[in-house]
Structure 1
């Protein structure tokens, strides 16, 4: 889960102060904000009133003064989001809520609620799944730490009691962070970043000792430049932001190196329309649709820190492919550090034509100007093809081979100009047990199938070959071995387009048959061409195959030996 949802529910900033200074990082204090920063502040101005309908106003309610989510559950995440956004605007002279006594009263009430959400061990709950959660406490501190600094710097009349409440919450949270555990790899860096920010406010050797314990495990970056979770639409940008916080706050510039490597890799994970490749993730963002807005701060920071033209070019591209509301969600980072207001260095051309393998991630990325494709190992959706707004979000193939015929390949091999995916299956039968292996009581648990001799072993080998041709791809699928096995190939498209050259499959929604020479799928003027088709049966949901996706799907069918080539352009 990406807890940082500041655009509609909350944000945090240090509007009135420059970045806390550390010698290796350039500092700049400027009273005059650029127009785009002021515009972002105005966006938050428009959003703050949205919290009013979520406020708990019943004086008898345990969490009175707190805020609910969209299913009316009071929670610390929405409440901290309000505190962060409100404190930011109270502190910004450009805001219509600057030094607002009315908003300050709401912040004080919310701070009291936060202390009620907080357990005696300093932690809070993520009510959807995690309880007494150290990492979720750290995510909440991403709101509360800047809010505290913000409010303190604002010199708002009557803010002393609110600051005391926020300070109490923060120090209690610190006690939880120095002993609490985590669930996932990114949590180590989120917790460490929160401790870094706490240490800036309330220096404590225990905070630094705990950070050192986590850092002793080393940053989990593979040689491709990818983090363990491969979570391009959620946790990779979170890890990058956390490492930047730590690099600055701990005076450890070496922590910027994994950030740079990840950002360099991610340049090759961008579709021509600005979306990010998500299919290789092993977290909940797998296969989701997202643009690169979550990376904007990281690319801009590294562009200026390293005078890097590629980072600058990607930052500018993100500006063009993201909404202002998405970018404004990270306003706090840009107000904390006025050096980010500087003009970016000159662009260096971004990669737009390549075929590049990322073996540690099991990914091959192919891009040629206006189209691109992702090949994936250990993934049943082993190919995608994007052409502008038209998206083939998955290609899948399955057979009804002993209930285990859904194809995926353990690896992708390059053979000349061809990428090869393979899978071999066996379907054996089993003979009677030999006498000395029979349990006297007839208990089958004592006579596992591994003790039986196999016979009539059926085999199925699938070889998929992919190569570039005619400004697109040729995908050859060859399935051989046992004969007469039903096969179904799926071309699964993103919703929103129109087909030609296919026929509707009766009684099944979003299902189409393709037997002709040419088919197309068009979305807003962008068209993917595919050819050619084959239909030998109409069983599109084979036993043992994955259920159909909720998306427009074109089916090709046949029997083994099955050899067919699909062309995409």
Structure 2
């Protein structure tokens, strides 16, 4: 079950309590339905088989550990369901130990910041625990997450995931898997926003018909008529401070600015970290600028990834500033005291590569590149300013648009890539909607090479890349200097 929902069960999770919990949650619900079903269902042969299976797995679930935050809630939900079938104080106490760690919700986001895990694991698990063990505070946590989800909801009906620390950071998630928690919160709280969102989720299709069908007999009230739907207001804006994300919804546009990468702090690409170098998205109806990235040819250290987002507001204009500083070193000879005539030195990680150089015992000369990106959001789009300081190296700003439109005014590099002429506007049009890119100021020299995305040595060494697809427009230059790029959006609503 876990393979389909969270991608963490591909052959390397042996003797796994959390992976078993995904199945146990479904099987325990099936057993409960047999118990509460029509006369004779409780004595069905399947009921006895499920009793034997669940009794066999219970000790492992009660004692077993986990390895990701959301697994705490999945395994606790399984224990709560087992406790409902056969009350056992030790199972309830084990759930209590997990809950005593605190539910990891900050500004409505779980610590993994993953829409996928919130929809499929954390929200339904916490609601199950709340129901069985009477924890209304868990319902509050789910409600906070669903409120945050509505602010993360994009005009195309998907949930923003660029901030995620899990696999879904590479693509948005439809709202559909949130359907049942949205209905439950709308009914429990009598609220129109989640009722509206539940309608949208339902329109995208039922992700798991069996789960939806099984939810009704367990909780007949879930099928009641929802409160009057109330779509989220526009304009509205939410800054997720801890996650470094700004989402700005205006009548004609939605803008996303991301400056919460985990990469600057941890210095590595890793499962469980927010690695995406996308720092800007702009939606204007059918015209969607899906990814804006800034890459540099600087010691293979990869693209710009900001660890901090600073937001300022002044007279209707919201401005976000993202900063990053990266360095590489040249190492000096060792002192007489540290030399080894045999040439044997420790194999050490320098932060970007490893070598038998015992770097910690050498003086170093650092080379540093600093980048500051300023994004001003208005009703007509955004204005981006990038200041780069450091050694003379090439950089490339990549604007990747979702397919389906037509690019005009730019120099074609290949079938799906263009270069922006600093003196001419380039427009990407989809029907009557468009996003136009103009460079009013570029105070730096031109790049030596044709601009292209550079993923960095961590991907290059493995023969991989984190490049995005789509219709790509490039602006290239050379450090040091400043670039100003104006993005003008036109959306003709019906």
Normalising by structure 2, what TM-score? 0.82
Unaligned 5+ residue runs, structure 2? Answer: 262-275, 347-355, 460-464, 490-494
Aligned to 1:529: 436
Give 1:250 shift. Answer: 0.8
Query: Does the 8 A contact of 1:138 with 1:194 survive in 2?
Result: yes
Q: Aligned runs of 1:437-516 on 2, under 5 Å?
A: 437-445=338-346, 448-455=358-365, 457-469=366-378, 471-482=380-391, 484-506=392-414, 510-515=416-421
- Tell me the equivalent position of 2:473: 554
Q: Look up the match of 1:346.
A: 228
Partner of 2:309: 412
Kept after mapping to 1: 8 A contact 2:112/2:166:
yes
- Out of 235, 259, 263, the residue aligned to residue 146 of structure 2 is 263
Q: Name which of 141, 148, 154 aligns with 2:31.
A: 148
Q: Larger deviation: 246-255 or 433-442?
A: 433-442
Instruction: Give the SS at the match of 2:173.
Output: coil
Aligned partner of 1:104 in structure 2 is none
How far apart in 2 are the matches of 1:386 and 1:287? 18
Q: Is 1:187 paired with 2:71?
A: yes
Cα distance in 2 for partners of 1:167, 1:500 equals: 66
Corresponding residue for residue 365 of structure 1: 247
Listed one character per residue, the Cα deviations across residues 496-542 of structure 1 (whole Å, up to 9, x for unaligned) are 43322233324xx6332222622233446543332239864414254
Q: Distance in 2 between matches of 1:301 and 1:191?
A: 21
Q: Would the aligned equivalents of 1:268 and 1:351 in 2 still touch at CA under 8 Å? A: no
Residue aligned with 1:200, SS: helix
Cα distance in structure 2, aligned partners of 1:542 and 1:148: 53
**Matches of 1:158 and 1:426 in 2, distance apart?**
67
The match for 2:22 is 139
| Counterparts in 2 of 1:236 and 1:301: CA distance versus 1, 3 Å | same
Q: Distance in 2 between matches of 1:128 and 1:530?
A: 46
How many residue pairs match? The answer is 445
1:88-147 residue CA offsets vs partner (Å, 9 max, x unmatched): xxxxxxxxxxxxxxxxxxxxxxxxxxxxxxxxxxxxx95543222211211112321222
Shift of 1:491: 0.9
**Does the C-alpha gap of structure 1 residues 494 and 450 become closer, same or farther in structure 2, counting only changes over 3 Å?**
same
Quick check: which one's strand share is greater? 2
Q: In 2, distance between residues paired with 1:439 and 1:138?
A: 55
Is the CA contact (8 Å cut-off) linking 2:400 and 2:469 kept in structure 1? no
Alignment of 1:231-250 (within 5 A): 231-250=114-133
Equivalent-residue separation in structure 2 for 1:209 and 1:524 (angstroms): 59
Which residue of the partner structure matches residue 452 of structure 2? Answer: 540
C-alpha root-mean-square deviation of aligned residues, in Å? 2.9
| Residue matched to 2:168 | 285
Greater CA radius of gyration, 1 or 2?
1
Describe the shift of the 1:488–1:126 C-alpha distance in structure 2 as closer, same or farther (beyond 3 A).
Answer: closer
What's 1:308 paired with?
191
Supply the distance in 1 between the matched residues of 2:179 and 2:22 (Cα, whole angstroms): 19
CA contact (8 A) 2:303 2:455 kept: no
After TM superposition, the structure 1 = structure 2 runs for residues 23-42 of structure 1, keeping only pairs within 5 Å, are none
User: Residue in 1 aligned with 2:270?
Assistant: none
Cα shift at 1:311: 2.3
The partner residue of 1:436 within 337, 344, 354 is 337
Distance change in 2, residues 1:183/1:523 (3 Å): farther
Q: What's 1:520 paired with? A: 427
Could you tell me the TM-score, scaled by structure 1's length?
Answer: 0.72
1:393 matched residue in structure 2: 290
Relative distance call for 1:329 and 1:493 in structure 2 (3 A) is farther
Residue in structure 2 matched with residue 163 of structure 1 by the alignment: 47
Q: Deviation at 1:173?
A: 1.9
Structure 1 residue aligned with 2:257: 375
Aligned-pair CA distance for 1:186:
0.8
CA distance in 2, matches of 1:524, 1:3: 39
* Paired residues for 1:201-240 under 5 Å: 201-222=85-106, 224-240=107-123
Task: Answer yes or no: is the 8 Å Cα contact 1:2–1:234 preserved in 2.
Answer: no
Contact 1:385 1:391 in 2 (8 A): yes
